Amino acid sequence: MTTVWCGIAAVAVVSMLMKAAGPAALGARELPRRATGVIALLAAALLAGLVVVDVVKDFSWPLLAGIATVGAARWRGAPELVAIVLGVAVAALLRLPESLG
């Protein structure tokens, strides 16, 4: 258990420092225009990575179909919660034979 506690403490400190470094080092200084251009795209790039990694690491066709349903429903104008519920329902239905078997 000592290893677990040491691991938790070390990861907590490292995470805190990573989040604190930018704000502490930069203060209120404005970033150069080129840096702002990169930062403006960071969220889109990171989100795409998060979705892809989530799908790849636990890949299953029902998961992929569920996420595609979320996107299609939202694209057709469904509210966020409805889109998510539809995606969940599609994945659950596709897994029904597996769950019952």
57-76 residues near other proteins, rule: CB under 8 A: 57-58, 62-63, 66-67, 70-71, 74-75
Q: Minimal distance in Å, beta carbon 41 to other proteins?
A: 4
According to the binding rule CB under 8 A, does residue 33 interact with other proteins? yes
Among 1, 76, 97, 101, interactor with other proteins by CB under 8 A: 1
DSSP letters, 9-25, are: HHHHHHHHHHHHHHHHH
DSSP letters, 72-93, are: HHHHTT--HHHHHHHHHHHHHH
According to the binding rule CB under 8 A, does residue 39 interact with other proteins? yes
Among 61, 84, 97, 101, interactor with other proteins by CB under 8 A: 84
* CA quadruple 71, 76, 81, 85: dihedral, nearest 10: -70
